Amino acid sequence: MLGSQRLGPSNKSDRLVLAHGFTQNARCWGRFGELCSDNFDVLAIDAPGHGLSGHGNADLTEAGRLIVEAGGLGHYVGYSMGGRMLLHAALESRIEIRSLVLIGANPGIESADERAQRRATDERWAAHIMEVGGPTFINDWLDQPMFAHMSDEQTFKATRYENAADGMAASLRSCGVGVQEPLWDRLSSLRMPVLVIAGTKDEKYTMIGERMVAAIGSNARFVNIEGGHAVHLENPVVTAAVVASGGSQLSGW
């Protein structure tokens, strides 16, 4: 059983399920989640190892399955780690996802050497979590360049402190990019509408996002929104509007 939180009233016909990034939890969607509730019945899920959820050792496939089981039939939004979990779920033919929105998500590192290097980095971070404890680790995590320009309120730093150190460490070891097998050659099998979003200042994920859409095909669209890696937190009004409109051109909403 995964923890969850409903954002706004549940009187909308379409459900939108939110899967957060690493070190976050269901209470870290802020204004973006509130705005989405104007158009959807919004359910935010605590990913395995975070918030009120156990299952810290779940791999990406199992984590994605657990999130979709908790969320039920609906449209799904995944940010970063949450996006990678949902991408695995979407590639499982027995799981029905009406449409998929990926924000700053990576289908995987293709080079075996680069994956090994990232796996070693993830392991160092995991060990650091257990050495210094959750709050100190989160401070260090948010000091990285992709987050350092954001305020504590934008990153939900205090809310991230709710996560248990052992859960986050287990999640990083089981679901980090370093242990993820690349999914690039499977993306063309996605049949639901897919909206890929990246911040304009996040050059790495802008390139990844554009390439993902090309690999998926005509049922996918890419949208660049002013902001960085956590563009939904930096620019929630525009991001929520894009999600509500399905990227202007995206069918299936």
pLDDT 10s digits, 67-99: 999 999 999 999 999 999 999 999 986 677 999
Model pLDDT for residues 21-31, shown as the tens digit of each residue: 999 999 999 99
Question: Domain range holding 71?
Answer: 4-112+181-245
- Number of domains present in the structure of the chain: 2
CA 1 centroid distance within chain: 19
Mean pLDDT computed over 188-210: 97
Positive or negative, the CA dihedral 36, 42, 46, 51 is positive
Q: Where among 174, 192, 219 does a domain terminate?
A: 174
Q: Which of 47, 11, 57 is closest to 27 using CA atoms?
A: 47
For 245, the token pair is: 């409109």
The pTM of the full predicted model, rounded to 2 decimals, is 0.95
In a domain? residue 150: yes
